[in-house]
Amino acid sequence: MKESILTKIPDIDYSESAPQINSDEFDKVVTSRRSVRVYTDETIPVEVMRKVLHHATLAPNSSNLQSWKFCWVRSPEAKKSCIKACLGQSAARTAAELIIVLADTKGWKKVRQQMLEQLKAQDAPYGAVTYYKKIVPLAYGQGPLGLKGLLKKVAIFFLGLWKPTPRGPTGHSDMKVWAHKTAALACQNIMLSLRAQGYDSCPMEGFDEKLILDLVAKNQPTAGLSVCMVISAGKRATNGIYGPQIRMDAGQFISEI
């Protein structure tokens, strides 16, 4: 098979060793993470929240374009508005902290330029620079009124008849799905980070997105943003979990080919 930017292994002088991990402790974090709907009055230290948000930014993401934004709701007025937008549900109302996680379909252009500057400073391999110079705008740019995306969809259909071909994103709706996948990965980092530090969370999808975006708009432009989820955080109350975790037989969802 002819080598390409995606298949060629670059000749680079860099390595990074992984630390030893206590897998039992990780298992405890994952299995003890529950959706908590009632919290105590205990606050979460600012330094813990900042660490949690830092962990969010370390989540894997598509082409390292980091199509996410995190809005930590701090002021009493903003919290009141956010709770209202979350329909007043107990998971929001009793939470010590609220984080709005947003999917960003427009920020990739700025991050792409930043990546090119970083790669230039690192004297990165030609393939990496070419990827961000040529492939990224081709893959993620949709053009005015989505016309470029429409042309890509036609071209991809015919190209895919004779070789494996990425099928998207080829439109603004595809871009929204693309951004939400990345934002959701960050959400998992947030919830696991909270649990690892002794706190709990609840990922909420029951909210009025317009009200949430109106709240976010007081601090930053919201063009290209949509709400992935609102995550509440705090110390779980004794009645914070409504019942045992219910999971169906794993064989229903896991297959091998």
Q: How confident is the prediction along the chain (257 residues), in pLDDT tens digits per residue?
A: 566 767 778 778 888 899 999 999 999 999 999 999 999 999 999 999 999 999 999 999 999 999 999 999 999 999 999 999 999 999 999 999 999 999 999 999 999 999 999 999 998 988 899 999 999 999 999 988 888 888 888 888 888 888 888 888 989 999 999 999 999 999 999 999 999 999 999 999 999 999 999 999 999 999 999 999 999 999 999 999 999 999 999 999 999 99
Domain at 35-105+186-239: CATH code: 3.40.109.10
Strand partners, 243: none
Long-range contacts of residues 146-153, Cβ cutoff 8 Å, at least 24 apart: 146/171, 146/172, 149/174
Residue 250 carries which side chain, given as an amino acid letter? A
**Phi, psi angle pair for 88, to nearest 5°:** 70, 15
The token pair at 29 is: 């974090």
pTM: predicted TM-score of the whole model, two decimal places = 0.93
